Structure 1
Amino acid sequence: KILMTTDLVCGLLCLAISFITNDSLMIAALIFANIVQAIAFGFSRPANKAIITEVVEKEEIVTYNAHLELVLQVVSVCSPVFSFLVLQFASLHMTLLLDALTFFIAFVLVAFLPKEEAKVQERKQFTEKDIFSDIKDGLAYIWHQKEIFFLLLVASSVNFFFAAFEFLLPFSNRLYGVKGAYATILTLGAIGSILGALVANKMKSSMRILLFLLLLAGIGVFIMGLPLPPYLSFSGNLVCEFFVTIFDIHVFSQVQTKVEDDYLGRVLSTIYTLAVLFMPIAKGLMTWLPSVRMESFLLIGAGVILFSLLAQLVAKQLQSKKQ
C-alpha cells in the first residue's frame, strides 16, 4: 500500500504540473514536486526493501538483491543519455507526462505483485501513540538482536566516511588537474558497482567477510590520494564501489533474512534514518575544514580501514561472548 500510494501521488503530481503554462508557477511547482518526491522516497525505499521478503524466497534474496543492484546501476549509467534525448526531442511538459506515466506503470506493477495471505487483525484507529509505540518496539527489537544491531551500527557509521568522500569527488578536476576527471571517476565507479553486483551472489555472507569488504573499499579510497598516474588513481573509485556494492547487497540481504517480518520495515527505516543523519555531519565537517585537497582521500580511506579493523575486533569479542 505504501509503494502504491507513493507512486500514485507522485504520478498525479507530475501529471498535474505538466498542464501548468506559467513559467513562474512551473518553477514553484517543480520545487514542490521535488520535496514531495523526496518525502515519498523516504517512505517507499524501506517499504520496497521490506516487500522483497514477501515475493522472494529467503535463500534467493542475495541473488535477487544482486540482480536488482545490477539493473539499477545499468539504469543509472543509461538514464542520463536517455534523459538528454528526451529533453532534446520533447518539451518539459511532455517530459513530465512521461514521468507521470512511469509512476503509473510502477503503481500497476506493484498492484499485481503476489501477496501473502493477509493476517486477520482487529481493525482499530491508528493514533499518534501507536506510531511512537511502533518506533519504541522497533528500537527495542534492534537492541536485543545484537548481530543486527552491530550490523546496523557498522553500516550507518561507515556512511560518515563515504559521505565525506562523496563531498570531495566533485572537486576532482581541480584536485587532479585533469579535465574530465570527475566524469571519469564516476564512470569507473559505476563500472565497479556493476561488477560488484555481478559477483555479489557468488560470495558468502558473514560478519568477517563484510568487514573485510569495507577494508578493501577503504583501500580503494586511499589509492585515490596516492601520488600515482591520474587514471590509476581514478581506478580507486572502481575498487571502492566494487566492494561497497557487495557490502550493501549482503547487509540488506542479512537484514531481510534475519529480521522478523513484523519488524523488518522498522529496522530498514532505522538504517536509512541513521545513514541520512551522518551525511550532513560529515559534509558540514568537510565544509568547515580545509578539506579540498588530495590528502583528504588518504584520511578518508584510512578512516574506513581503521574503522573496519576496529569493527573486526568488536565482532570477535561479541562472537566470543556468544559462545
Structure 2
Amino acid sequence: MQKQNYFKLLLSKLLDQIGNVTYDYANSVWIASMGILGQKYLGIYQILETLISIIFNPIAGAIADSSNRKRILLVSDSISALVCILISLIGNDQVLVYGIIVANVVLSVTYSFSSTAFKSIVPRVIDSDRVLNFNSLVEIVLQVFSVVSPVMTYYIYVNFGIRVALMINGFSFLGSFLTILTIVDNTDVKDTGDKSTAKGTFKELFSEIKYGLSYIMSNGELLELLILSALINFFLAVYNFLLPFSNSIFGTEEVYSRLLFFGAIGSILGAFVSKFITNTRSNLLLSLGFSGLGIAYIGLANFFPISVVLPYIGNLVFMTFLSIYNIHFISRIQQRVADEYLGRVFSAVFTVAILFMPLGTLVISLIPGAVSSLTFTPNYS
C-alpha cells in the first residue's frame, strides 16, 4: 500500500506541476505579446499572485492541520481543472485576458492550499524511512520537467494557441485529481474527532495559526530553520534579480540562458545525490555553505581573466548544493515536526520566504552600481 502511494503521490505532483508551470508560461508569453498593454496586465497578474500567496499560506497551513489533507488536494485540483477548462472556452481575447487574471487569482489560492497539504500528507502516506528518497525523486522529476516544459508549452502555444494550452492545463489538474483519489491514507481516523476548528470562525482559525507560530518559537531547531529560510531567500532574491542581467555584466551573449541550463543540471544532480547523504544538521549547513561558494565563483570572471565557462560551473555547483539543502530542509521538517503542526510549520516557512524576497530585490535595486548602468540603458537604434 505504501509503495503504491509513493508512486501515486509522485505522479500527482508531476501532473499538478505540469498544470501550474504550463499555465504560467503560456499565459505570460501570450500576455507579453500584447506590447505595452501586455506589460500592464502581466504586472497585475504577477503582483496579485504574490499577494494571494502571502495572505493564504498561513490560512492554508492551519486548515491542513485541522482537516483531511487528501480532501484538500482533491478540492484544489478539481477547482483548478474546472477554472482552466472554463476560461479556455472564452472566445473574445479581451475578455480572455481578464479571465486569465481572475483564474490566476483562483489558482494561486488553490496552490497555497495544495502545496501545503501535499508536503504535510507525505509523512502520513509514505514510510518515514522513504521520505528523503521521495523528496529527492520529486525534485529530480520536477527539475527535468522544468528544462523541457518551456519548449513543450511554447510548441503547444505556437501551433495550437493559448486556448488549447489552457485546456491541457485543465486536464493535467484533472489527472492529478484522479490520482489523488486512489491514494489510501489514515486521515479518516483523524477526521472522526472534533471538526469545529476546520469549520469554525475566523477567530478560531487565527488561533490555530498562532498556536503553530508558538510551536515554532518553542522549538530551537525549527526556529533556526525558519531564520535560515528568511536569510536564504533574501539573498536568493538578490541573485534572481542580478541573473537576468548576466549578459551585460559579463559582456557576452547567451550567458544568461547557459547559466540557467547549468543551474537546471545542477538541480537534477543535487536531487539525485541528496538521497545518499545523511539528513543531519551539519550536512544541511555544509550544503548551504557550498552553495554560497558556488555563487561566489560565478562572480570571479568579473575580477580575473578566466573563461566564462567557469561561472557556468559555479552556477552548477550553487544549484547542486541548494537542491540538496532544499530537499533535506523539507525532509527534516516532515520527519521531526508533530503531524498536527506540520501544515502550519510549512506555511510559516514559505510565507516568511515570500515576505523577504521582495525586500532583497528592493535592497539590491537601490545599491548604486549593483548592476552596470548599461544594463538599464535602452537601445533606440
Structure 2 counterpart of 1:238, from 316, 321, 325: 316
Change (3 A) 1:44 1:27: same
Counterpart contact for 2:271–2:324, Cα < 8 Å: yes
Deviates more, 1:11-20 or 1:62-71: 11-20
Distance in structure 2 (CA, Å) of the matches to 1:211 and 1:293 = 33
2:226 maps to 152
Following superposition, the deviation at residue 279 of structure 1 comes to: 0.4
2:66 maps to none
2:18 maps to none
Deviations 1:71-109, CA, capped at 9 Å, x for gaps: 000010111121122123212222111111111111111
1:12 maps to 82
Aligned pairs (5 A) from 1:54-73: 54-73=124-143
**Counterpart residue type for residue 223 of structure 1:** Y
Change (3 A) 1:196 1:293: farther
**Counterpart residue type for residue 189 of structure 2:** A
**Counterpart residue type for residue 339 of structure 2:** D
TM-score, with normalisation over the residues of structure 1?
Answer: 0.88
Distance in structure 2 (CA, Å) of the matches to 1:35 and 1:234 = 36
Deviations 1:146-190, CA, capped at 9 Å, x for gaps: 112212221232111111101110001111111111100000000
The answer on 1:292 being equivalent to 2:371 is yes
Distance in structure 2 (CA, Å) of the matches to 1:135 and 1:80 = 37
Deviates more, 1:3-12 or 1:271-280: 3-12
Counterpart contact for 2:81–2:170, Cα < 8 Å: yes
Aligned pairs (5 A) from 1:215-234: 215-227=289-301, 228-234=306-312
Counterpart contact for 2:291–2:321, Cα < 8 Å: yes
Deviations 1:247-293, CA, capped at 9 Å, x for gaps: 00001101000001000000000010010011000001122223215
Aligned pairs (5 A) from 1:115-154: 115-116=185-186, 117-119=188-190, 120-124=192-196, 125-154=199-228
Deviates more, 1:30-39 or 1:236-245: 30-39
Following superposition, the deviation at residue 12 of structure 1 comes to: 1.0
Change (3 A) 1:229 1:153: same
Following superposition, the deviation at residue 143 of structure 1 comes to: 1.3
Specify every segment of 5 or more residues in structure 1 that has no aligned partner in the other structure, as ranges. Answer: 295-323
1:311 maps to none
The answer on 1:204 being equivalent to 2:278 is yes
**Counterpart residue type for residue 192 of structure 1:** G
Following superposition, the deviation at residue 123 of structure 1 comes to: 4.0
Distance in structure 2 (CA, Å) of the matches to 1:224 and 1:293 = 16
Distance in structure 1 (CA, Å) of the matches to 2:109 and 2:239 = 25
Deviations 1:89-138, CA, capped at 9 Å, x for gaps: 21222211111111111111111111114222134341111111101110
The answer on 1:163 being equivalent to 2:230 is no
Aligned pairs (5 A) from 1:99-114: 99-114=169-184
Aligned with 1:202: secondary structure?
coil
**Counterpart residue type for residue 81 of structure 1:** V
Distance in structure 2 (CA, Å) of the matches to 1:218 and 1:293 = 23
Distance in structure 2 (CA, Å) of the matches to 1:274 and 1:49 = 17
Count of aligned pairs: 294
TM-score, with normalisation over the residues of structure 2?
Answer: 0.75
Change (3 A) 1:39 1:288: farther
**Counterpart residue type for residue 54 of structure 1:** R
Deviations 1:5-64, CA, capped at 9 Å, x for gaps: 221111111111111111110111112222222222222211111111111111111000
Change (3 A) 1:209 1:156: same
The answer on 1:184 being equivalent to 2:258 is yes
1:263 maps to 341
2:92 maps to 22
